[in-house]
Amino acid sequence: MTRRARLWVLTAGLLGTAALFAAACLRMPPFGGTWHPYGDRAVQAALLQRTANTVSSVNFDQRAFDTLGEESILFAAVLGTVVLLRRTSGERRVTPQPASVPPAVRRYAIAVLPLALLIGLYVVAHGQLSPGGGFQGGVVVATALHLLYVGVDYRALERVRPVGLYELADGVGEGAYVVLGAAGLLAGSAYLANILPLGTFNTLSSGGTVPLLNAAVGMEVASAVVVLLARFLAQALEIVDEKEEGRERGERRKRE
Amino acid sequence: MREALDDALVVASLLFVAAAATAAVLTRDPARQAVVLSLLGLGLALLFTVLQAPDVALSQLAVGSAVTPLMILLTVREVRRRKRRE
Amino acid sequence: MTVLPYLVAGWIFLAGVHGLATSRHLVHAVGCLAVTQSATYVLLLAVGYRRGGTAPVFSDTPPGTPVVDPVVQALALTDVVVGATVTALLLALVVQTRKRHGTVDPDELSGLKG
Amino acid sequence: MNGWLVAAAVLVVAGLGPSLWGAARGGAGRRVVAQNAATLLLCLVFLLLAQGYGRPSYVDLALVTSVLGPAGTLVFVRLLGDEIDAPPPGLRLLTPLVAVGTPATLVPLCIATGPGRALLKLLVVGALLVAGGLVTSRALRHA
Amino acid sequence: MVDRLLPLIVVVPLLGAAVLVGAGRRMPRLAAETVACACAAASAALACAALAGPATAVSWVGDWRPRDGVSVGIVLVGDRLGLGLAALASVLIVAVLTYSWRYFEEPPRGHAGAFPALVLLFQAGMCGFALTGDLFDAFVFFELMGVVGYALTGYHVEEARPVQGALAFGFVNSLGGYATLMGIALLYARTGELGMAQIGRRLDAAPGHDALVAAAFVLVVTGLLVKAAAVPFHFWLPDAHAVAPTPVCLVLSGVMVETGVYGVARVHATVFGGPGGIPADGTRRVLVVLGVVSALTGAVMCWQQRHIKRLLAFSTVGHTGLFLVGVGLLTPEGLSGTCLYVLGHAGAKAALFACTGILLARLGSVDERELHGRGRDIRGIGLLFALGGLALAGLPPFGTGLGKAVVEEQAAWLPALFGLVSALTGGAALRVAARVFLGAGERGHDERETAGGGEKEPETAGGEEEPETVGGEGEPETAGGEEEPETAGGEEEPETGHRIRLPPPPMVSVAVALLAGALAVGTVPALAEATAAASFAFLDHAGYAAAVLDGRATGGQPGHGGEWWTWSGAVLGLLSAALAVVLAAAAVVGLVPSRGWSAPLRRLHSGHIGDYVAWTMAGIGLLSLLTLW
């Protein structure tokens, strides 16, 4: 299609969709209403399960199967990225040049790194109590490690990041979620049933299986994000095309 | 009074998000778009907080403030690196 | 005010789609897809909001306080994860597109026609 | 009348709005500066909201922002390095913003909170904000 | 007991994938492939065992059983059709894993388990989507299917086209998924529920249809129709299926596209089928109109292809259109006929792809003209390919023929449509078989000469004897602009790494088994009976809700003996098969008119992501018009 034709089709579609959606909005219940039947039931169920953070109760207990699917999506995406960004034949690894970073930035990165890790672990651990949980904390942990890349050097990051180990942890995290779910079946209840003692409301050990599932997710997410970023970093910094590299070397020699 | 204030915060963040989304679409250069997307992420986190969803705000912050920009910029860098060589 | 949040969600969706369809750079297109998706977060959370309610987290507020709908929050969380993973995967494909096709302009990709 | 929420609303309209304006136009350097200002402002807004809503657990948002915000800015500085015109326009505003905005928000909050674990959290956030703000503006200047 | 084990159908492949990734670096290839096969087979066995069990298995994950008809949990519903689809998907996955046993060249170092792990995740996505009774959960598994699908499609990153096809797949499918999620949010706003049965009941409690329900319907169905590749949402499919690794094509064409149709049917039956939903006329109009257009577009485009995988992909578009028509009739007979058709089609289409994979592995090309006569020494494969083509054309007693016959009895105009589409798609496959395996007809330059002077067909691969010399480095031979839009198949790389001499036994046996399956669907009366009862129960809007929420089991309805071959149906099947043979013969001897007339339609398939997105939005507009009329 020519650009003009595409624009016509697009405009017609957008106008149609806009009209439909606007008509639907006018029939929506007014914003901020009090009628939330599922939400109210979920709050009651969460209190009965002694989980202070209802969102975590929904995520890891009431609708834990959704989270299993969600973690599998993340897992699949990381696996897919590893496959898609693999080093192909005709490509070679090079050692990236060290970067020059102002010393203040370097000091900041090294000082904040442990603190950021701590904050990440705190967010994971308090998932069933306060806002946060495995996903959020896991991403913070992974980001914290990459402070070494942005603040120090790629090689510093590589030293704390044996990718194979993180791939293993990724698999273990996903596997742990699946197996914890199966424990419910073995205990004679349903898959992903909350079979552990519920503990005392508003303490770190409350909520039965919620903290365990939460920890499994945290582990998977942290390692998944590390593996994911490792592939992108390797593509941008390490992997070069042999043909292009040869051409470049030739040019350099000519100049010299 | 309190409800009016809540509404004002919601409206302000909604407009911020709508503006940031529009700006992100209109910024055609991907590296600069990444900056606007980062602001969209921050705006969304703010909107989620005033909609009383701190859990979602936290995950939006975690994903949108560093990880997504890092992926986008690394991609842009890879794309440009090859462009320069040709 | 009663429909503004829904309309904003619709606007974001359409704006993102417009950018996606007219994009001249695949990385920009991926960004536009992320914008499109943020419409779904906004809509979900707007649907679950309750005026005067607070977050459904009872660690620092007594049970019985009116709270907003926790279910949509759980859905939005899942949605955020989906968005991040799709972005990552598409960016990976863009990197390979650049290598194999030598371009990231959708107008210049011509391997599959008819 | 909830002064904290009013202050938050003012910061959103008068602070985040202009940041978006700054980030949406112009060169890369100016945009990154605006992004950095936005993370700082957002962190302050989170603190005010936590106090205004009477929900101490919302402080976690500010805590995470105070770490990830500067990290995000450093990502931009690192990977956009050659595009950022040194010193980027607007950079001069950044240091006063950190130096004035952070204490102006944190001191009243600390007074309202009173001694305890919550105060410690606030102080950590404040320290991270100041350190992050100073380091990012240094990094931007040398980009 | 079956009830409780239902989640394991989804979970076992997930566990397998986790093991493969966790131990991937240390695992030898043989072990990885064995683990994958075992997990897929275990899941398939579970699905089949559940099919043999009581009428509808209902499993509340986490034991959150409903109280007073409402629950906070997620339900998995193993009714006949859902379980049947899960079983079909699992069996095809086992076929794929067997087929690709040592098929690929050495996998990337340290990633021996990556391909089987992705395939297992794909299986989990499809099974979860088939079994779930919760709308949001369906979205989650929809996305899982999508994410794995993009990665598998782009698996051959060394080549140019797979990457582009995967991108188109990714963008359009994600967009469709987000539209679905918007629709789910609208439904949640109206009903405050996420379970399909619960949403349906809430909608029925306040009958009367308005714009909100209509918009929710349109948006939810958009994502599903994107997956089902209905026109104008179909553009991604030929791009993706033509370039994905051949084993993956087996699943993509054989069952993933059909899950989209299943999703539409499921959502209609459980959510929008009641008095508070969308009037039956509206749904019927939407599905039948889109189905007819898709069927015709797919059939015409299929006939025009020379890239064999792309040809088969377009035939999938055509057949999915027929499925949509069958489902869109909203009668139990239409649905049960469609089910048989889907089963037969899965066998036939997967077998055709399996044969194409053997061609690619042996001859290094999937281009019809380039392969002309070069398949003479593997006539056995040619026979299989021709049988697959005849099955597509609806030859009795293949399952496709039975399904087609059952649906055709529903309305007087259906035989014409079904006959035409089956004949065109089957005829295209037969044409390929005749040219490649018998060397019949000219080498294929005839069409260019008859195309007239104005249009020049850029063609370089046709004259090359050794495809490797062009492979990889050669620019795609299609030029843009106003020239003939066409995708040739010459520059594909053999996926086996080196050319194989003889077709390896696993590949051939998979193709044979798949065809045998397609034959069995049309020859085992018990299957047709079961399908008829299952379809009747499937469309029971209130019965589904009662079974899920009140625990009142709905058994198979008595008095629905099931449809079986009739004389007219068999004759119609023979006719369409004969027409396919005639068309193929006419094409081989050069009696078919020039292809210039179809150029505008082919030009629409531009490979441009912006175009595809624009069409998707136009499709949403079209759906709203058809729904609201």
Crossing angle (nearest 10°) for helices E505-523 and E379-392: 30
**Average pLDDT over all residues of chain E:** 87
Contact status, residue E456 vs residue E484, Cβ threshold 8 Å = yes
Contact between D57 and C54 using a beta-carbon 8 Å cutoff: no
Chain A residue closest in CA terms to D142: A102
* Spatial separation of the C-alpha atoms in residues E210 and A20, rounded to whole Å: 11
* Spatial separation of the C-alpha atoms in residues A92 and A87, rounded to whole Å: 7
Closest in D57, D67, D68 to A130, CB measured = D57
Cβ neighbours of B58 in A, within 8 Å? 123, 131-132, 136
Chain D residue closest in CA terms to B65: D72
A 31-60 residues with CB < 8 A to D? none
Q: Which residue has the higher pLDDT, E549 or E563?
A: E549
pLDDT at E559 over 60: no
Contact status, residue A177 vs residue A68, Cβ threshold 8 Å = yes
The average pLDDT across B32-53 equals: 96
Domain assignment present for residue A28? The answer is no
Domain assignment present for residue C111? The answer is no
Domain assignment present for residue C43? The answer is yes
Contact status, residue E55 vs residue E538, Cβ threshold 8 Å = no
At A33 the three-state DSSP class reads: coil
E413 C-beta neighbours (distance < 10 Å), count: 10
Q: Write the single-letter amino acid at A198.
A: L
Check residue E110 and give its pLDDT.
Answer: 58
Check residue E463 and give its pLDDT.
Answer: 29
DSSP-assigned letters across all residues of E323-392: HHHHHHT-SHHHHHHHHHHHHHHHHHHHHHHHHHHHHHHHHS--BTTTTTTTTGGGHHHHHHHHHHHHHH
Closest in B17, B28, B78 to C24, CB measured = B28
Burial of residue E412 (number of CB atoms within 10 Å: 0-12, 13-18, 19+): exposed
Domain assignment present for residue A119? The answer is yes
Distance from CA of E387 to the nearest CA of A (A): 36
Please tell me which of A187-196, E96-105, E584-593 the model is most confident about, judged by mean pLDDT. A187-196
Domain assignment present for residue A134? The answer is yes
Q: Which domain holds residue D32?
A: 3-141
CA angle, C61 then D61 then B64, to 5°: 140
Q: How many domains does chain C have?
A: 1
Contact between E163 and C36 using a beta-carbon 8 Å cutoff: no
Domain assignment present for residue A207? The answer is yes
Check residue E459 and give its pLDDT.
Answer: 31
Q: How many domains does chain B have?
A: 1
Chain A residue closest in CA terms to E211: A24
The average pLDDT across E187-213 equals: 91
Assessment of whether the complete model's pTM goes beyond 0.80? yes
Chain D residue closest in CA terms to A151: D74
The average pLDDT across E74-87 equals: 94
DSSP-assigned letters across all residues of E252-279: IIIIIHHHHHHHHHHHIIIIISSTTS--
pLDDT at B41 over 60: yes
The average pLDDT across E422-427 equals: 96
Low-confidence ranges of chain D (pLDDT < 70): 1
pLDDT digits (tens, 9 = 90+) for B69-78: 999 999 999 8
Contact between A229 and B85 using a beta-carbon 8 Å cutoff: no
Which neighbouring-strand residues pair with E307?
E367
Check residue E369 and give its pLDDT.
Answer: 87
pLDDT at C45 over 90: yes
Q: Which domain holds residue A208?
A: 54-84+97-235
Tokens representing E192?
């405050």
Q: How many domains does chain A have?
A: 1
Q: Write the single-letter amino acid at E191.
A: T
At D114 the three-state DSSP class reads: coil
pLDDT at E453 over 50: no
C 26-85 residues with CB < 8 A to D? 54-55, 57, 59-61
pLDDT digits (tens, 9 = 90+) for E298-350: 999 999 999 999 999 999 999 999 999 999 999 999 999 999 999 999 999 99
Contacts of E318 (CB under 8 A, 6+ apart): E294, E295, E296, E297, E298, E299, E302, E421, E424, E425
Check residue A54 and give its pLDDT.
Answer: 94
Distance from CA of A130 to the nearest CA of B (A): 8
Q: Which helix (H) or strand (E) holds E152?
A: helix E135-153
Check residue E457 and give its pLDDT.
Answer: 34
Check residue E140 and give its pLDDT.
Answer: 97
Contact between A140 and D68 using a beta-carbon 8 Å cutoff: yes
Distance from CA of C62 to the nearest CA of D (A): 11
DSSP-assigned letters across all residues of C92-109: HHHHHHHHHHS---GGG-
Check residue E381 and give its pLDDT.
Answer: 92
Check residue E217 and give its pLDDT.
Answer: 96
pLDDT digits (tens, 9 = 90+) for E345-392: 999 999 999 999 999 888 888 998 888 888 888 889 999 999 999 999
Cβ neighbours of B81 in D, within 8 Å? none
Burial of residue E127 (number of CB atoms within 10 Å: 0-12, 13-18, 19+): buried
Cβ neighbours of A164 in E, within 8 Å? 25, 110
ipTM: 0.95
The chains found to touch B (3+ Cβ pairs under 8 angstroms) are A, C, D
Contact between C70 and A63 using a beta-carbon 8 Å cutoff: no
Domain assignment present for residue C110? The answer is no
Q: B66 — contact with chain A (CB < 8 Å)?
A: yes
Q: C49 — contact with chain B (CB < 8 Å)?
A: yes
Cis peptide before D87 (omega within 30 of 0): yes
Chains B, C: CB pairs < 8 Å: 138
Check residue E497 and give its pLDDT.
Answer: 64
Closest in B22, B37, B78 to C98, CB measured = B78
* Spatial separation of the C-alpha atoms in residues E261 and A163, rounded to whole Å: 41
Check residue E439 and give its pLDDT.
Answer: 87
pLDDT at E448 over 60: no
Q: Which domain holds residue B58?
A: 2-85
Tens of pLDDT, residue by residue, chain A (256 residues) = 788 999 999 999 999 999 999 999 999 999 999 999 999 999 999 999 999 999 999 999 999 999 999 999 999 999 999 999 988 877 888 888 888 888 999 999 999 999 999 999 999 999 888 998 899 999 999 999 999 999 888 988 988 889 889 999 999 999 999 999 999 999 988 999 998 888 888 888 888 899 999 999 999 999 999 999 999 999 888 888 877 666 666 666 766 6
Tokens representing B47?
């909107």
pLDDT digits (tens, 9 = 90+) for C19-43: 999 999 999 999 999 999 999 999 9
Domain assignment present for residue C62? The answer is no
Q: A102 — contact with chain D (CB < 8 Å)?
A: yes
Which of E93, E180, E56, E137 lies closest to E534, judged by CA? E56
Q: Which domain holds residue C32?
A: 4-53+67-103
The average pLDDT across E497-519 equals: 85
Contact between B35 and D31 using a beta-carbon 8 Å cutoff: yes
* Spatial separation of the C-alpha atoms in residues A58 and A66, rounded to whole Å: 9
Domain assignment present for residue C93? The answer is yes
Domain assignment present for residue C32? The answer is yes
Check residue E107 and give its pLDDT.
Answer: 57
Contact between A236 and B71 using a beta-carbon 8 Å cutoff: no
Domain assignment present for residue A112? The answer is yes
Q: C75 — contact with chain B (CB < 8 Å)?
A: no
CA angle, A109 then A114 then A120, to 5°: 110
pLDDT at E2 over 80: no
How sure is the predictor about E471, in pLDDT bands with cuts at 50, 70 and 90?
very low
Check residue E461 and give its pLDDT.
Answer: 33
Domain assignment present for residue C35? The answer is yes
Contact status, residue E425 vs residue E393, Cβ threshold 8 Å = yes
Percent of chain B topping pLDDT 90: 83
Tokens representing E325?
């028509």
Chains E and D touch, using 3 or more CB pairs below 8 Å: no
* Spatial separation of the C-alpha atoms in residues E139 and E118, rounded to whole Å: 19
